[in-house]
Amino acid sequence: MIGKNNMNIPTIGIVTPCYNEELVLNETSFQLNSILSDLVEKNYISEKSFAAFIDDGSKDKTWNKIEENAKQLSHIKGLKLAGNVGHQKALLAGLLTYKDEADALISIDADLQDDVSVIKDMILKFISGTDVVYGVRKERTSDTFFKRNTALLFYNLMKKMKVNIIHNHADYRLCSSRVLNALAEFKEVNLFLRGIIPSIGFSKDIVYYDRLDRFAGESKYPFRKMAAFAWNGVTSFSNYPLKLVTIIGFVIFFICIIMTGYALFALYTGNVLPGWLSTVLPMYFLGGVQLFCFGIIGEYIGKIYSEVKQRPRYFIDKRIG
């Protein structure tokens, strides 16, 4: 077991994906560097511990800020990707790039909404032998009514679709080196790390924290992107939507039997124009359902298309620190 009083003091890395985060980077770098320095001074972690910022093809001065902070602060590193690949792939790039340089890596967003004070608690749980430590929000009272209820809908949807995720957990977590080595075995292009990490297994624990207000800048995940992210999670980890197509087929068959009986009754009583009910309503109804089912099947075919090509998920442009 790795421990404070053991000669084998762990090296901890913090991985932070960034996209157009120039307004918050100085403060985030300062806070993470201070936390690492304090833990090094108290002999909890090795002086080789670091915080690595991953520039996901930002269009502002994010990389310039990372370079400046890496030169001024002792524990700061930087990784610049060749282009914008998205939050999940940028995070994966950081985890896989630095997994051999630390005993465990902590992933956290750059906006400082995840409480950095619980990083120490995560590390202590890792020292005691835990492989995965999830950062979970205590409550959502600070969210707007819309955001709180859409988040609840998201987690309930994942549960219904049999996706194994941690409730109220985003991407704030600690992973040991053996979890990261297992993660490297996943070659899929359509990434959903919130589902992949729990599926790996190993020992796990939770630290709870209060979600803070964004320090500066704007959220990079509006509702449209969140909805796309949720759908990607469902289709990446569950074939339940395909089963839903079969269920819909049985329901339509049952409804058609009822409609046929109604149409025959209406024709017998003379309350409807002959041919209208039996032609128009089934045409619109079945046409809409067919398009819906084809859309679901097409989504899975599209994912198969992306996976079989096995294109690289990211390219690294520069490193610093």
How much is the pLDDT for 3? 46
Quote the mean pLDDT of the chain: 78
Q: What is the band of 243 on the pLDDT scale with cuts at 50, 70, 90?
A: low
Fold for 12-238+312-320, please state it: Spore Coat Polysaccharide Biosynthesis Protein SpsA; Chain A (3.90.550)
Element containing residue 62 per DSSP (H, E)? helix 62-72
Q: Do residues 2 and 8 lie in contact, with contact meaning Cβ atoms separated by under 8 Å?
A: yes
User: Would the pTM of this model clear 0.85, i.e. be above it?
Assistant: no
- φ, ψ at 124 (rounded to 5°): -65, -40
Calculate mean pLDDT across residues 138-144: 65
- Compute the average pLDDT of residues 165-184: 86
Mean pLDDT, rounded, for 54-79 = 90
Predicted pLDDT at 253: 63
264 bridge partner residues: none
Q: Are 55 and 63 in contact (CB under 8 A)?
A: yes
Which residues, at least 6 apart from 101, have a Cβ–Cβ distance to it below 8 Å? 11, 13, 48, 50
Query: Residues 161, 239: contact at Cβ < 8 Å?
Result: no
Predicted confidence (pLDDT) at residue 136 exceeds the cutoff of 70: yes
Residue type, 253: F
Domain ranges in the chain are 12-238+312-320
